[in-house]
Amino acid sequence: MKLYEYLAKEVFAKNGLPVPPGRVARTPEEAEAIAAKIGEVAIKSQVLAGARGKAGGIAFAGTPKEAREAAARLLGAEIRGYRVEQVLVEEKLKIDREIYLGISIDKAAKAPLIIASNQGGMNIEEVPEKHIVKRWVDIRLGVHPYVGREVARRLELSGDIAKQVADILVKLYRIFRQYDAELVEINPLVISGDKVIAADARLNVDDDALYRHKDLPLVEEGTELERKVKALGLAYVELDGDIAVMANGAGITMATLDVLQSYGGRPANFLDAGGGASVEQTAQAIEVLLMKKPKALLINIFGGITRCDDVAKAIVQVKKTRGIPVPMVIRLVGTNEAEGVEILRENGLSAYRSMDEAARAVVAAARGEA
C-alpha cells in the first residue's frame, strides 16, 4: 500500500526525521489560511504518482492569495491519471543541494538495499550508475550509525551535513523495518543552509503486513481506470506510452512490453487478462484500453486455459458494438487457434503467429507507417 506524501511525512516526523512545516488542504480557502501562517509555500498535489512536478502538479506561492489561486488550479485537476482531491501546503525550502536516499528490498539478494545519490530531485533510474551508492543491509545487524557515516562519505558529504544525513539514514531504516515497508524514499533530501530536510517522502507498506499497522489509514491505490479494470478481475497498470497492450499471463505481458520497447514502441499499459477470462470480460478489457485513446492496440494471446476462439469473439464483439478506431494488431497462438483465426478472418481481421512480427507491426502502426 502506498501512502500519500503527507501521510508518509507524518510517519517520518513521528520518527524524528526533519520535514517542512505544512498541512493538507482540501479547498482553496484552506490553502490560503495555511499559507497565511507559513509564508512562502509549495503547494503539492497529493496523488500516488511520481514526477508530479513535470506533470504540473506542484506550484509555488509567495502570498496567501497566490496560494488560494494555485490550490484552485490544482484541486480537481488530473495528474498522471489521478484526480487531485487534496494538496499539501508546506514551507518553500531554500535548496542548496539535493540528495536521493531510499531503502527497498533486493529480491535477488534477499536483503534490504540502501540506494543513495548526490544527484537527487530526479528519477533514480535516470541517474548514471557512477553517481549511485548502493549498500546491502545484513538484516541481523541492521543500520547503525557507522553505516550512515559510510554512505554519507561515499556521497562526498562532510562535517555536520554528513552527520545529519547519517542520522536520517539510520532513522529511515528504522521506519523501513517498523512499518514492514517495501520502499522508503526521500527524493529530494534537501540541504538548505546548515540543515538537511526531507522535501518529499514515500512509504510503501507490504499489503500482507497491513494487519500489523492498524494506525495507518487504508489508502485505495490506482487511477480511476486501474480501479475499473481491477473490478473486472484483471491486473492492470497504467504506463505513459501510446500503444495499448493486452496479453494473458504476467510473464507474457511483461515480455510483450519488453519486445515493444526493443522495437522503439512505448507501451501505454500493462494488462494481464489471465487465464480463462470470459468473452464478456475480454471485451470489456479491450473497451477500457480504447478509453485511453492509444495510437495502436496490440493483443498478444498464447492460449492455454485461454481459448483463442473466445478472444476472437470478444474482439469481434467490440468491433461490432463500439468500433475499434485505432490500428489493431493481433497475435493468436494456442488452444483453439484455428477456430479463433477463422472467426477473425470472417470479420475482416487477421492474426500473427510471431510475437516479434506483431510487435514490429504495431510499432509501425503507432508511428503511422503502416
For 31-62, write each residue's pLDDT tens digit: 999 999 999 999 999 988 877 877 889 999 99
The boundaries of every CATH 3.40.50.261 domain in the chain are: 224-366
| 226-284 pLDDT, tens digit each | 777 777 777 788 888 999 999 988 899 999 999 999 999 999 999 887 766 667 878 88
pLDDT band at 223 (very low <50, low <70, confident <90, very high): low
What CATH architecture does domain 97-212 belong to? 2-Layer Sandwich (3.30)
* Segments in the chain forming alpha helices (H): 5-14, 28-38, 64-74, 145-154, 159-178, 224-231, 250-262, 279-291, 308-321, 337-346, 355-366
The answer to whether 100 is a known catalytic residue is yes
CATH architecture of structural domain 21-91:
2-Layer Sandwich (3.30)
Which residue among the candidates 100, 173, 179, 236 is catalytic per the annotation?
100
Q: Which residues are within 8 A (CB) of 116 and not within 5 positions of it... i.e. 6 or more apart?
A: 99, 100, 101, 102, 132, 133, 134, 135, 151, 154, 155, 169
As a CATH number, domain 224-366 is 3.40.50.261
Q: Of the candidates 66, 60, 53, which has an alpha carbon nearest to the alpha carbon of residue 5?
A: 53
CATH 3.30.1490.20 in the chain is located at: 21-91
Question: Among the options 185, 226, 238, 337, which is catalytic?
Answer: 185
Domain(s) of CATH 3.30.470.20: residues in the chain:
97-212
Whether 6 is catalytic is no
The CA-atom distances, in angstroms, between 76 and each of 46, 84, 220 are: 11, 5, 18
Asked if the model's pLDDT at residue 202 lies above 90, the reply is yes
pLDDT for 52:
83
Q: Give me the torsion for CA of 259, 262, 266, 272, rounded to 10°.
A: 20
